Amino acid sequence: MTDMTLLQSSSEDASTGEDFSASVMSIEIGPAHPAMHGIVRFTTHLDGELIVGMDPEIGYLHRGFEKESENSKWIQVIPYTDRLNYVSPLLNNIGYSMAVEKLYGIQAPPRAEFTRVIMGEISRITDHLTCLGAVAMEIGAFTFFLWFIKAREYLWELVEEMTGARLTTNWTRFGGNHSDLPDGFLGDLADRLAKLKEIMTECDKLLTRNKIFIDRVKDVGAISKEDALSFGFTGPLLRACGIPYDVRRADSYSVYDELDFEIPVGSTGDCFDRFLVRMEEIRQSISIIEQAADKMPEGPFMTDERMMHFPDKKDVYGNIEGLIDHFKLVMEGHQPPAGEIYMPVEGGNGEMGFYLVSDGSGDPVRVRMRPPCFNFVAAMPAMTVGHYVADIVPIFGSVNMIGGELDR
Amino acid sequence: MSEEISTKETGTPPETGELTTLLKQEFPDDVTDFHAHRDDETVVIKRDALEAVCRFLRDDTRCSFEIMMDLTAVDRLEMNETPRFEMVYHFKSLTHARRLRLKVRLTEDDCKIASIHHLWKAVDWYERECFDMFGIVFEGHPDLRRILMYDEFEGHPLRKDYPIDKQQPLMELKEVEERHVYGRHS
């Protein structure tokens, strides 16, 4: 924490009018700070090194996702969702597509769902690897970071093989996926998972029982079950508090009910528990991927309902129905029946919910995405007050704030 | 709106969910509308009842909604619905593994609603975002500032009458001299 700028030192905080004692000073951390995972500003009030108050300020990465989406066609929103949680873009693609499918009342064929599970869990692993690697690096474990980023690279190569892009995937469609499994994909997948498992074992030995690491994260940033629920926590942070809530189980969407996996929980909800929960979730995700690859059914990867996907080129040029479908999809777009739905899926950070309202015309009325890390950043004051300045780094790291998702 | 449509689609009257029945029984005068489109249980209530209903949903053991999942609004200007705004609250109960959507309709010239920040801590920031994006005033909120936009920003971007291409530069834009390209006019 050498890079902080001392902006003001006053006995009274101008924004709230609270009177702090004369020894309290206010320090701005961010918006651009090496230990901030995105652009966010914390106005911290310090008594010596002890944090007595904090006011997070967000919105630096606000791009108007909802406004842009509401001025697009339904299908045009998919590329925008890549840019929400940009560490696990496939989970956003899947969440949004499943939401529109719920609006239509249709389901993707089993092969598409199993492929989605594989790709979604790969994305969840990359999300956790990034988060854990960054936390470790910021508190000095640089090797761990490099190995995790190496592992993430193996997985992103798989994502590239499947979608053609590493981050801006734009892969799902309504009622299926853009592409089927490429040739030899399952073989590559098995190789990469084997490598990932090796790295996981080594990194586990390196950090999980490391005293220097444990001293920095144990009993830091703990939050009670009641507060976590009241703040609307979901995902790894809620599970670290000991509440086994996972949307994959609780609402059992897609084909997760056919797969066997455990939901790891912590006990105290401190940064160390969050670390352990995420490590275990990576292992569980590996197991889910292996099961899904074994059970991969044959069949189409796209629904055969009309007006859901662009017809094959041979139909567009070969028969009138194909031509009409193509024309109407291009000119009018998808027209889900009027209504409103809320579709929750388990994102990298927690419950990612899409609330969609359609009036049946082809233009979305409302596209709302519930950002899981919004609640975590809102709870930053509750998690940091009473700790020292240096603890902000592991606490904020374990929150895994993703600017694209937070500010939309 | 959706109720009519779901009726039209399926040809059957909207189903009454367990929670809908309970709320209708507890608050007979306040529930104005309900539906369960795609199995999402939805109840529309009167504005003044919001605080009481939310407190009931949180504290009553038959409901136990521990998590206030999401709070947002819908601007129905282009759908030609009145009143114009609809507040949407999503709740999740872990005890009963249930979800509920609560809606309150607000007119354009009186878009104020009671704040429920004292019931769930998550509501504080959700209401700030909703105020920022839609200009809905939450009465009793302790700190109703903008959250995603900057303080000097004028208007509320997610309202349908806010143009998508409107620019609000903080500094005046410089006049750029019109240049002739490819030398066609020189």
Report the interhelical angle of B18-26 vs B50-59 (nearest 10°): 120
CATH code at A203? 1.10.645.10
Number of domains, chain A? 2
Rounded-to-integer distance, Cα B73 and Cα B117, Å: 16
Chain-centroid distance, C-alpha A278:
13
B69 vs A339, A359, A370: nearest CB? A370
Task: Inspect the interface and report whether the beta carbons of B70 and A379 lie closer than 8 Å.
Answer: no
Rounded-to-integer distance, Cα B68 and Cα B89, Å: 8
Count of alpha carbons within 13 Å of B101, Cβ hemisphere only?
23
Tens digits of residue pLDDT in B70-111: 999 999 888 888 888 999 999 999 888 888 999 999 988 888
List chain A pLDDT tens, one digit each, 408 residues.
334 444 444 444 555 666 555 678 888 887 887 777 778 888 888 888 889 888 898 988 898 899 999 998 898 899 999 988 888 899 999 999 999 999 888 888 999 999 999 999 999 999 999 999 988 888 888 888 899 999 999 999 999 988 988 888 989 988 888 888 888 899 999 999 999 999 999 888 888 888 888 988 888 888 888 899 999 999 999 999 989 999 988 888 888 888 889 999 988 888 999 999 999 999 999 999 999 999 888 888 888 877 888 888 888 898 988 898 889 888 888 888 888 999 999 988 889 999 999 988 888 999 999 999 899 999 999 998 888 988 888 898 888 888 888 888
Given a cut of 60, whether residue B59 has pLDDT beyond it is yes
Could you identify the residue written with the tokens 């995937």?
Answer: A169
Joined tokens for residue A244: 């086994």
A58 vs B1, B76, B147: nearest CB? B147
> Which residue spans within B28-120 are E strands per DSSP?
31-35, 42-45, 67-75, 85-93, 98-106, 112-114
CA distance B177 to chain A (A): 29
Residues A41 and A90 in one domain: no
A59 vs B2, B6, B147: nearest CB? B147
Residues A299 and A260 in one domain: yes
Domain containing residue A18: 1-60+373-408
Given a cut of 70, whether residue B182 has pLDDT beyond it is no
Measuring CA to CA, which residue among A264, A277, A269, A280 is closest to residue A231?
A: A269
Task: Inspect the interface and report whether the beta carbons of A232 and B133 lie closer than 8 Å.
Answer: no
Task: List chain B domain ranges.
Answer: 2-164
B2 vs A230, A339, A375: nearest CB? A339
Task: Inspect the interface and report whether the beta carbons of A408 and B76 lie closer than 8 Å.
Answer: no
Contact A375, A231 (CB under 8 A): yes
| Residue B151: closest C-alpha in chain A | A59
Residues A220 and A258 in one domain: yes
**Contacts (Cβ under 8 Å, ≥6 apart) of A404:** A38, A61, A63, A83, A84, A85, A86
Joined tokens for residue A390: 């240096």
Measuring CA to CA, which residue among A376, A380, A378, A372 is closest to residue A84?
A: A372
**Contacts (Cβ under 8 Å, ≥6 apart) of A90:** A119, A120, A122, A123, A159, A163, A169, A171, A172
Torsion-angle region of A292 (φ positive above 0: left; ψ -120 to 50: alpha; else: beta): alpha
B38 vs A105, A366, A408: nearest CB? A105
How many other CB atoms are found less than 10 A from the CB of residue A315? 15
Q: Which residues of A touch B150 (CB under 8 A)?
A: 59
Report the interhelical angle of A110-138 vs A271-295 (nearest 10°): 150
Fill in the amino acid letter for A397. Answer: G
Count of alpha carbons within 13 Å of B99, Cβ hemisphere only?
20
Across chain A, which distance is largest between two alpha carbons, in Å?
Answer: 81
| Residue A357: closest C-alpha in chain B | B74
| Residue B71: closest C-alpha in chain A | A370
Claim: this prediction has a pTM higher than 0.95:
no
* Residues forming a β-bridge with A43: A28, A55
Measuring CA to CA, which residue among B69, B92, B9 is closest to residue A370?
A: B69
> Looking at residue A118, what is its pLDDT?
92
B contact set with A (CB within 8 A): 1-2, 5-6, 9, 37-38, 40, 42, 66-70, 72, 74-76, 78-79, 88, 90, 92, 94, 97, 99, 101, 120-122, 124-126, 129, 133, 143, 146-150, 157-158, 162, 164
Rounded-to-integer distance, Cα B76 and Cα B88, Å: 12
Q: Which residues of B touch A99 (CB under 8 A)?
A: none
- DSSP assigned state of A301: S
Could you identify the residue written with the tokens 């009145």?
Answer: B82
Joined tokens for residue A221: 């940033």
Task: Inspect the interface and report whether the beta carbons of B74 and A102 lie closer than 8 Å.
Answer: no
Task: Inspect the interface and report whether the beta carbons of A231 and B133 lie closer than 8 Å.
Answer: no
CA distance B119 to chain A (A): 8
Fold (CATH) for B2-164: Beta Polymerase; domain 2 (3.30.460)
Chosen from B59, B124, B141, B148 to mutate, greatest number of chain A CBs within 10 A: B148
Task: Inspect the interface and report whether the beta carbons of A68 and B121 lie closer than 8 Å.
Answer: no
- DSSP assigned state of A275: H
**What confidence tier does B2 reach under pLDDT thresholds 50, 70, 90?**
very low
Q: Which residues of A touch B67 (CB under 8 A)?
A: 229, 232, 234
> Looking at residue A17, what is its pLDDT?
60
> Looking at residue B181, what is its pLDDT?
55
Strands B98-106 and B42-45: parallel
Q: Give me the phi and psi of A297, to 5 degrees please.
A: -80, 160
> Looking at residue A361, what is its pLDDT?
85
Chosen from A103, A247, A355, A383 to mutate, greatest number of chain B CBs within 10 A: A355
Q: Give me the phi and psi of A233, to 5 degrees please.
A: -65, 145
Identify whether A393 is part of a domain.
Answer: yes
B121 vs A227, A234, A407: nearest CB? A227
| Residue A102: closest C-alpha in chain B | B38
Radius of gyration of chain A (CA): 23
Contact A268, A219 (CB under 8 A): yes
Complex prediction ipTM: 0.84
Nearest 5 degrees, angle CA A41-CA A42-CA A45? Answer: 150
B94 vs A243, A338, A379: nearest CB? A243
| Residue A342: closest C-alpha in chain B | B40
Joined tokens for residue B110: 């009186």
Q: Which residues of A touch B125 (CB under 8 A)?
A: 374-375, 378
| Residue B68: closest C-alpha in chain A | A232
Identify whether A323 is part of a domain.
Answer: no
A365 vs B74, B101, B120: nearest CB? B74
CA distance A98 to chain B (A): 13
Measuring CA to CA, which residue among A117, A369, A384 is closest to residue A257?
A: A117
Measuring CA to CA, which residue among B77, B69, B147 is closest to residue B106?
A: B77
C-alpha pair distances (Å), A241 with each of A28, A107, A228, A271, A389: 29, 34, 8, 10, 23
Across chain B, which distance is largest between two alpha carbons, in Å?
Answer: 80
Q: Which residues of A touch B75 (CB under 8 A)?
A: 366
Could you identify the residue written with the tokens 């070969």?
Answer: A318
> Looking at residue A16, what is its pLDDT?
62
Residues A292 and A223 in one domain: yes
Residues A365 and A386 in one domain: no
Given a cut of 80, whether residue B15 has pLDDT beyond it is no
Contact A333, A75 (CB under 8 A): yes
Rounded-to-integer distance, Cα B128 and Cα B88, Å: 14
Could you identify the residue written with the tokens 């969440």?
Answer: A95
Rounded-to-integer distance, Cα A297 and Cα B15, Å: 36
Chain-centroid distance, C-alpha A220:
23
Q: Which residues of B touch A379 (CB under 8 A)?
A: 121
Contact A393, A380 (CB under 8 A): no
Could you identify the residue written with the tokens 């529309």?
Answer: B44
Contact A306, A209 (CB under 8 A): no
Radius of gyration of chain B (CA): 21
Chosen from A18, A102, A106, A229 to mutate, greatest number of chain B CBs within 10 A: A229
